């Protein structure tokens, strides 16, 4: 079975590395980006099975990344990972095309839930 390829986007290196370690221990292939502009360029250059995306970043923020990807027809699942816990942020993110919203600090169980959801979607697509 082919390894899932995940793009982890966060301006905090420590957060990116922690997420990457967890996902790599689950057999995933990880690519990291430290800002929204790099994330958009990487998503255009190569396919990903999932994008885990922070909201608050310099340059273009996570909301703008989602908007840009969706406006260009990219359907890659996006899970927001943010310290912002307001319901209106969650509603807005899901409304513009995010598939999930996890608040920091996240637990290992939350990351695994996202991975299980990804695997279920892949199985449905392959069936």
Q: In what order do the strands lie in the sheet with 29-33?
A: 29-33, 5-9, 50-53, 78-82, 100-103
Band of residue 127 on the pLDDT scale cut at 50, 70, 90 = low
64 CB-near residues (< 8 Å, 6+ apart):
36
Mean pLDDT of the chain: 90
More confident residue, 78 or 121: 78
What is the DSSP annotation of 66-81? Answer: HHHHHHTT----EEEE
Query: Residue 124's pLDDT is what?
Result: 76
Least confident of 30-39, 77-86, 107-116: 107-116
User: Scanning the structure block, which residue is given the tokens 């509603």?
Assistant: 91
| pLDDT tens digits, one per residue of 40-69 | 999 999 999 999 999 999 899 999 999 999
State the Cα–Cα distance between residues 114 and 108, nearest whole angstrom. Answer: 10
Q: How far apart (Å, rounded) are the C-alpha atoms in residues 113 and 80?
A: 13
pTM above 0.85, yes or no: yes
Greater model confidence, 26 or 73? 73
- What tokens appear for 6 in the block? 């995940």
**Cα(121)–Cα(61) distance, integer angstroms:** 27
């Amino acid at each position: 079975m082919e390894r899932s390829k995940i793009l982890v986007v966060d301006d905090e290196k420590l957060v990116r590395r922690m997420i990457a370690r967890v996902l790599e221990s689950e057999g995933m292939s990880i690519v990291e980006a430290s800002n929204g502009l790099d994330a958009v360029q990487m998503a255009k250059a190569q396919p990903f099975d999932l994008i885990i995306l922070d909201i608050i970043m310099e340059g273009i923020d996570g909301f703008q990344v989602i908007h840009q990807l969706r406006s260009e027809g990219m359907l890659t699942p996006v899970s927001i990972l943010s310290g912002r816990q307001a319901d209106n942020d969650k509603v807005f993110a899901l409304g513009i095309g995010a598939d999930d919203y996890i608040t920091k600090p996240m637990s290992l169980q939350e990351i695994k839930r996202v991975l299980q959801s990804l695997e279920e979607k892949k199985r449905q697509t392959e069936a």
